[in-house]
Amino acid sequence: MDPWITPSILAADFSRLGDEVRTVLAAGADAIHFDVMDNHYVPNLSVGPLVLASLRKAGITACVDVHLMVKPVDRLVEDFLNAGADYVSVHPETTEHLHRTLSMIRARGAKAGLVFNPGTPMEILEEVIDCVDLILIMSVNPGFGGQKFIESSLSKLARAREIIDHTGLPIRLQIDGGIKIDNIAAAASAGADTFVAGTAIFASDDYAKTISAMREKIKQTGD
């Protein structure tokens, strides 16, 4: 699958979010990663569906990948689908009935993602792999931007890549947390094709330069 770079808005300037999103899209982002935190499942609070709805209302039509770090999750899945999410990703710990939650996302015509924390085993994947369009491997513990990349997520990525290839299903493999220009190649080599980066992009002086440097590093792993 074509590699995608999906900047996390968590590191954007929220006082001018619409402009930040437009700028990062013009700089070459493939989709927007929209981090939702509830101060319950994770120890931080971010933004809700109203913010996505207003970006849509402001004319932003790009693919939006919503990462829900909220418990319980089902109500907010609905709300984000109504607000215009393209991908909705959930953590297995946040729903009593994972199969139902993933199926509900797809039934509404959106793509379903399943997220694994550094400490979450991947066994459950086997049971629901037919219901997912994206697997997200967390390379930090969820809750904050700007954390350090956890190296053991590379072997988790490699295991997920093996499972995806074995099924032959068109599933994206996303990595999220601490991704920078200097470690994105390692994630790509381990099998990721979709890369979240918050701080590395939004704290840089030139979003386009950072995104193209990332793309170049990914490309080199395939040469």
Interface residue list for Zn ion (CB under 5 A): 35, 67, 176
Beta bridge partners of 37: 69
Residue 31 and residue 87 in contact, taking contact as beta carbons nearer than 8 Å: yes
The residue (of 67 and 156) whose beta carbon lies closer to Zn ion is 67
Nearest-CB residue to Zn ion? 67
Q: Which stretch binds ligand DX5 (CB under 6 A): 7-15, 51-59, 166-174, 205-213?
A: 7-15
φ and ψ of 138, to 5 deg:
-80, 130
CA-to-CA separations, 202 to 59, 114, 198, in angstroms, rounded:
21, 25, 6
Counting residues that bind ligand DX5 (by CB under 6 A) gives: 21
Q: How many whole angstroms separate alpha carbon 14 and alpha carbon 47? A: 10
What phi and psi values does residue 12 have, to the nearest 5 degrees? -80, 170
Q: Which is nearer to Zn ion, 89 or 210 (CB)?
A: 89
Taking the C-alpha atoms of residue 171 and residue 177, their distance in angstroms, rounded to an integer, is: 20
The entry of Zn ion, ligand DX5, none that residue 135 binds, CB within 5 to 8 Å by partner kind = none
Which of ligand DX5, Zn ion, none binds 178 (CB below 5-8 Å, type-dependent)? Answer: ligand DX5
Structure tokens at 207: 């979003």
Active-site residue among 35, 65, 79, 86?
A: 35
Residue 221 lies near ligand DX5 (rule: CB under 6 A): no
Whether 86 sits among the annotated catalytic residues: the reply is no
Contact residue for ligand DX5 among 49, 92, 113, 145 (CB under 6 A)? 145
Instruction: Respond yes or no: is residue 30 known to be catalytic.
Output: no
Query: For strand 134-138 and strand 111-116, is the pairing parallel, antiparallel, or unpaired?
Result: parallel
Residue type, 29: A
Site for ligand DX5 in 8-27 (CB under 6 A): 8, 10-11
Q: 90: phi > 0 → left, psi -120 to 50 → alpha, else beta; which?
A: beta
Residues 172-201 contacting ligand DX5, CB under 6 A: 176-179, 196-200
Of the listed 30, 65, 86, 176, which one is catalytic? Answer: 176
Task: Measure the CA–CA gap between 179 and 146, rounded to whole angstroms.
Answer: 9
8 or 94, CB closer to ligand DX5? 8
**Residues of the shown chain interacting with ligand DX5 in the complex, contacts defined by CB under 6 A:** 8, 10-11, 33, 35, 67, 140, 142-143, 145-147, 176-179, 196-200
- Which residues participate in catalysis according to the annotation? 35, 176
